[in-house]
């Protein structure tokens, strides 16, 4: 592994007291460059601030290194103040490719967004959503009655997807996980593994009676009637992990938890 040289670090943080205090301490120890001049961005907080940085610096080549000052922090490294430059120079960079979502709402408005973790569809009333699922232009499920459905990337497979009992995907797998949320009919359907070459279309049936919202990471679209999702291989974000605790190791550890 070729070791990079880190001369300038830009620190960003969430607005929690823990993250702000960590940022102040690190800036005092290591200085703080502007984000335009930095060799690396160090994000302090939880997975939310990391996702925000990955979106903001997409397609810039800027690597993002997170340290956990939040709750779960699956996308973050352990928070330590000592030897930060050495850790950054040894850290492994993993490229991430987002999902694109093209959505149409009931008024005919069109929206586009990118998702690094997942695209999710959720009922917004007391009644179950009814969804039609197509893959590459062919209807694969005429009607799915459920609370919602998730299309997850490998990096997002340990997030909402895992809570919905979806599979954990190795980070380098060319796969997407399609996972139902509380499927009512067909009750036994547990989802599907799809290639990143596939294009998925989700249509809301009886949309006036059973309205559905769609979300791409932190962006939400209300009253959608049709959405198309596919991986954008031309877009890329760069995330960094300590070399002794790589993403592969994190995912393997998660797979064998019980």
Give the pairing type, strands 63-68 and 40-45: parallel
CA torsion angle 236 237 241 246 (round to 10): -30
As a whole number of angstroms, the distance between CA 221 and CA 41 comes to 30
Whether cis (ω within 30° of 0) applies to the bond prior to 186 is: yes
pTM for the full model? 0.90
| Residue 246 φ then ψ, to 5° | -70, 170
| Residue 49 to residue 64: CA distance in whole angstroms | 11
Question: Digits of tens for pLDDT over the chain (258 positions)?
Answer: 456 789 999 999 999 999 999 999 999 999 999 999 999 999 999 999 999 999 999 999 999 999 999 877 888 999 999 999 999 999 999 999 999 999 999 999 999 999 999 999 999 999 999 999 999 999 999 999 999 999 999 999 989 999 999 999 988 899 999 999 999 999 889 999 999 999 999 999 999 999 999 999 989 999 999 999 999 999 999 999 998 777 777 777 778 876
Instruction: At 254, give phi and psi (nearest 5°).
Output: -65, -35
CB hemisphere CA count around 193 (13 angstroms): 10
- Token pair, residue 185, equals 């009919």
Helix residue spans in 43-135 (DSSP H) = 47-56, 84-90
- Does the active-site annotation cover 105? no
Given the residues 47, 136, 172, 248, select the one marked as catalytic.
47
Contacts of 138 (CB under 8 A, 6+ apart): none
Place of tokens 């009676």: 209
Q: What angle do CA 94, 2, 63 make, to 5 degrees?
A: 35
Query: What is the number of alpha carbons within 13 Å of residue 12 lying toward its C-beta?
Result: 21
**178 within 8 A of 140, measured Cβ to Cβ:** no
Give per-residue burial for 126-152: e unless 16+ CB within 10 Å, then b: eebbbbbbbbeeeeebeebbbebbbbb
């Amino acid at each position: 592994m070729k070791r990079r040289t880190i001369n300038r670090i830009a620190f960003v943080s969430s607005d929690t007291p823990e993250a702000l205090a960590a940022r102040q301490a690190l800036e005092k120890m290591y200085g703080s460059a502007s984000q335009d001049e930095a060799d690396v961005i160090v994000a302090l907080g939880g997975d939310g601030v990391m996702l925000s940085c990955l979106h903001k610096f997409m397609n810039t080549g800027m690597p993002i290194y997170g340290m956990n000052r939040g709750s779960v922090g699956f996308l973050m490294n352990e928070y330590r103040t000592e030897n930060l430059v050495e850790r950054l120079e040894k850290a492994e960079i993993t490229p991430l490719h987002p999902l694109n979502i093209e959505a149409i709402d009931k008024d005919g408005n069109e929206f586009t967004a990118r998702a690094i973790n997942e695209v999710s569809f959720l009922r917004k009333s007391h009644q179950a959503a009814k969804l039609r699922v197509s893959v590459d232009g062919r209807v694969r499920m005429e009607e799915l009655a459920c609370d919602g459905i998730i299309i997850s990337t490998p990096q997002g497979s340990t997030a909402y997807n895992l809570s919905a009992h979806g599979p954990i995907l190795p980070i380098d797998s060319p796969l997407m996980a399609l996972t139902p949320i509380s499927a009512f009919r067909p009750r036994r359907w547990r989802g599907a593994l799809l290639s990143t070459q596939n294009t998925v279309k989700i249509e809301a049936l009886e949309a006036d009676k059973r309205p559905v919202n769609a979300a791409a990471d932190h962006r939400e679209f209300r009253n959608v009637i049709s959405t198309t999702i596919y991986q954008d291989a031309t877009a890329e974000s760069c995330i960094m992990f300590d070399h002794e605790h790589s993403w592969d190791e994190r995912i393997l550890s998660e797979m064998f938890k019980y």
